Amino acid sequence: MNAGPSLSLDHVSITFGGLKAVSDLCLDVHPGELVGLIGPNGAGKTTVFNLITGVYVPTSGTIRFADKVLNGRKPHEICQAGIARTFQNTRLFAGLSCLDNVKIAAHQLATSSYWDGMWATPKSAADERTIDSRARGLLETLSLSDVAEARAADLPYGRQRRLEIARALATDPQLLLLDEPAAGMNPQETEALMHLIEEVRKTYNLAVLLIEHDMKVVMTICHRIAVLDYGVKICEGDPLAVRSDPATIRAYLGEDVA
Amino acid sequence: MGRALKTALLLGVLVLVNWLLPTLIPNSYYFRVIMLCGINIILAVSLNLVNGFTGQFSIGHAGFMAIGAYCSAVLTMRAFPGVIASLTQAGLPEVITHGAALFVATILGGSLAALAGLAVGLPSLRLRGDYLAIVTLGFGEIIRVVILNVDAIGGARGLSGVPGYTNVFWVLLGVVAVVSVSYNLLHSTHGRAMLAIREDEVAAEALGVPTTRYKVTAFVVSAFFAGVAGALYAHFDSYLNPSSFTFLRSIEIIAMIVLGGMGSVSGAILAAIALTLLPEVLRPVKEYRMVIYAALLIVLMITRPSGIMGTRELSIKWPWSRKEPA
């Protein structure tokens, strides 16, 4: 195990009115680990992401990252603590260039104040150089350099997903939450994405929590898989164990996969 | 070139224009229209910081303008004359004493408007959506009604006898300041954070951008410059009346940035000039003036729905702006 912070969800629940969307969930993600989160539609997977990133506050239970309690912290504070995410339906800054998309995420590197920005002081210019080189480096890593100046909305879907990962990496995370990164990708793109996730995880020494419906991806790259159904964790273990778990087969996988 | 040198050069040019323009344009009516263009540019470009860059919707800009106008007028009429008189006696020329008085009054008027912006923005910008529009609409009206009912600043009679300290130099300085700030922000990490909020507030927040702080900051800076424009207007017209700061005034400023293209600084400038000139040009047709004005606006919005400039910019190098990194 690599050194670094780990994420731990301790008996976390959230209710919306009478609906218990996530119920008593315990889940740990250790440094450097790639954990899959699977389950049928509406099982509460994205809700778990929203709980971790502070979009929702848990009704009960605690979420810790690097031994700090995240409950009630704002999303931007949680991002600054080292957790970055991508969205199920990409949420790029559509009207801005790819480079600007990544630069915005590298915002935390800035040391200059708003006042510096208003008057373009040397301090602001120095920030701009740092952020620019970091953003260009990330575009390079994700082979997006050729579209740096293109509008994010004009990219094909597969590359938009890559751009979202580049953007998440620009926040310098220790834990990366990927919400269905392969959705809408063709088999070639999915294949490339799998290698990318592995590569990025190793290069940046990241822990990854992955929501994905493409079982080939999940079963190939995940170290550990947790299965959610109706907000309850029904199974957790390595891909082999999950694949043969009767409850998982009944709720999600279906007979033919097993 | 060093920054100090650039600034000195710019001030030199402004002094030169200040000296040349009244000579070149002796017609006081034309001169007045040009000054109003400048003041409207400050208003439009400052509102663009909130409505264009940050994507919020403020419709109370006239309220902040009124605060700046009345605050600065009261200062130069009631608080400063003694100081000005003693400075003039000490041998300082009037240009300096009057200029300094206007400068201090404008900064203080802008600051009071900024403070009001903070008070309005803090509670309403924590929320997403249309709250800001509703709150600023109410705010603008409250300011107008309060001024209407305070007898010490003239009430409904208006405030007359404001010293006419505003000249081309000060208006242009205001324009250069607000335009430089806008362009500089666009090329800084803070400006990009504002654009991110406009594009997708949820994603911006998830990527570590403190969205509430940026929205409030943009709103406060915008209110400050509205106050500055108000102060310049007060010392130009020499007469203030609450009916100059109605809801319609706010709508006029919004029309400028919508027409120019939300988010485009150069668009805001062009549209501010166009919409200041248009009613003046149409004066000969008398009662049909506002009908044609409205019809032209409608035609422009149909033919160019995203404004004259869209979100694009004319590329001009401003004295304080940095080069785009290669």
Give B94's contacts (C-beta < 8 A, 6+ positions apart): B88
Residue A144 falls inside a structural domain: yes
Q: How far is it, in rounded angstroms, from Cα B106 to Cα B100?
A: 10
Beta bridge partners of A236: A226
pLDDT band at A63 (very low <50, low <70, confident <90, very high): very high
Give A68's contacts (C-beta < 8 A, 6+ positions apart): A81
Q: How many domains does chain B have?
A: 1
B190 close to B54: Cβ distance less than 8 angstroms: no
Q: How far is it, in rounded angstroms, from Cα B151 to Cα B154?
A: 5
Inspect the interface and report whether the beta carbons of A110 and B190 lie closer than 8 Å. Answer: yes
Question: Do residues A156 and A189 share a domain?
Answer: no
For B31-71, write each residue's pLDDT tens digit: 999 999 999 999 999 999 999 999 999 999 999 999 999 99
Question: Do residues A250 and A236 share a domain?
Answer: yes
Question: Do residues A186 and A242 share a domain?
Answer: yes
The predicted complex's ipTM stands at: 0.91
- Closest Cβ–Cβ partner in B190, B200, B325 for A129: B325
Q: How far is it, in rounded angstroms, from Cα A30 to Cα B165?
A: 68
Q: Which of A120, A148, A171 is the last residue of a domain?
A: A171
By CA distance, what is B205's nearest residue in A? A76
Question: Do residues A232 and A187 share a domain?
Answer: yes
* Structure confidence at residue A44 (pLDDT): 92
B184 close to A118: Cβ distance less than 8 angstroms: yes
Residue B324 falls inside a structural domain: no
Note the helical H segments in chain B: 3-24, 28-48, 61-74, 81-89, 94-124, 131-149, 168-186, 189-199, 201-206, 211-237, 247-260, 265-281, 289-303
**First and final CA of chain B: distance in angstroms?**
20
CA distance to partner chain B, nearest, from residue A104 (Å):
6
B325 has a pLDDT exceeding 60: no
* Structure confidence at residue B28 (pLDDT): 87
Q: Which of A154, A171, A188 is the last residue of a domain?
A: A171
Buried b / exposed e along B218-240 (16+ C-beta atoms within 10 A): bbbbbbbbbbbbbbbbbbbbeeb
B45 close to B269: Cβ distance less than 8 angstroms: yes
Inspect the interface and report whether the beta carbons of A107 and B193 lie closer than 8 Å. Answer: yes
Cβ–Cβ contact A172 with B under 8 A: no
Question: Do residues A146 and A193 share a domain?
Answer: no
Would you tell me which residues 46-85 of chain A have a C-beta closer than 8 angstroms to some C-beta of chain B?
53, 55, 74-76, 79-80, 84-85
Residue A189 falls inside a structural domain: yes
3-state secondary structure chain A: CCCCCCEEEEEEEEEECCEEEEEEEEEEECCCCEEEEECCCCCCHHHHHHHHCCCCCCCEEEEEECCEECCCCCHHHHHHCCEEECCCCCCCCCCCEHHHHHHHHHHHHCCCCHHHHHHCCHHHHHHHHHHHHHHHHHHHHCCCHHHCCCEHHHCCHHHHHHHHHHHHHHCCCCEEEEECCCCCCCHHHHHHHHHHHHHHHHHCCCEEEEECCCHHHHHHHCCEEEEEECCEEEEEECHHHHHCCHHHHHHHHCCCCC
For A192-238, write each residue's pLDDT tens digit: 999 999 999 999 999 999 999 999 999 999 999 999 999 999 999 99
- For the record, the structure tokens of A177 come out as 């939450």
* Structure confidence at residue B301 (pLDDT): 82
Residue B8 falls inside a structural domain: yes
CA distance to partner chain B, nearest, from residue A164 (Å):
10
Beta bridge partners of A175: A83, A207
Question: Do residues A100 and A39 share a domain?
Answer: no
Q: What is the CATH number of the domain that holds B266?
A: 1.10.3470
In chain B, residues with a C-beta closer than 8 Å to the C-beta of A135 are none
Question: Do residues A162 and A228 share a domain?
Answer: no
In chain B, residues with a C-beta closer than 8 Å to the C-beta of A107 are 189, 192-193, 207-209
**What's the pTM?**
0.91
Inspect the interface and report whether the beta carbons of B320 and A76 lie closer than 8 Å. Answer: no
Cβ–Cβ contact B196 with A under 8 A: yes
CA distance to partner chain A, nearest, from residue B291 (Å):
35
Question: Do residues A68 and A179 share a domain?
Answer: yes
Beta bridge partners of A227: A38, A235
Beta pairing, strands B159-160 & A83-85: unpaired
Q: Tell me the residue range of the domain where B40 lies.
A: 3-21+28-303
Residue A89 falls inside a structural domain: no
Question: Do residues A205 and A222 share a domain?
Answer: yes
- Closest Cβ–Cβ partner in B202, B210, B221 for A91: B202
Inspect the interface and report whether the beta carbons of A117 and B190 lie closer than 8 Å. Answer: yes
B174 has a pLDDT exceeding 50: yes
Residue B318 falls inside a structural domain: no
pLDDT band at B88 (very low <50, low <70, confident <90, very high): confident
Inspect the interface and report whether the beta carbons of A93 and B195 lie closer than 8 Å. Answer: yes
Q: How far is it, in rounded angstroms, from Cα A191 to Cα A104?
A: 28
* Structure confidence at residue A232 (pLDDT): 93
Inspect the interface and report whether the beta carbons of B189 and A167 lie closer than 8 Å. Answer: no
- For the record, the structure tokens of A97 come out as 């260039």
Q: Tell me the residue range of the domain where A103 lies.
A: 94-171
Inspect the interface and report whether the beta carbons of A103 and B196 lie closer than 8 Å. Answer: no
A10 close to A26: Cβ distance less than 8 angstroms: yes
Mean pLDDT to the nearest integer, A85-112:
93
A74 has a pLDDT exceeding 90: yes
Residue A190 falls inside a structural domain: yes
A85 close to A179: Cβ distance less than 8 angstroms: yes
State how far the alpha carbon of B235 is from the alpha carbons of B115, B160, B223, in Å.
Answer: 21, 10, 19
Q: What is the CATH number of the domain that holds A13?
A: 3.40.50.300
Inspect the interface and report whether the beta carbons of B180 and A119 lie closer than 8 Å. Answer: yes
Inspect the interface and report whether the beta carbons of A92 and B195 lie closer than 8 Å. Answer: no
A42 has a pLDDT exceeding 60: yes
Q: How far is it, in rounded angstroms, from Cα B112 to Cα B224?
A: 8
- Closest Cβ–Cβ partner in B181, B199, B211 for A94: B199
Q: Which of A127, A145, A171 is the last residue of a domain?
A: A171
Q: How many domains does chain A have?
A: 2
B308 has a pLDDT exceeding 70: yes
Would you tell me which residues 275-314 of chain B have a C-beta closer than 8 angstroms to some C-beta of chain A?
311
- For the record, the structure tokens of A18 come out as 């009478």
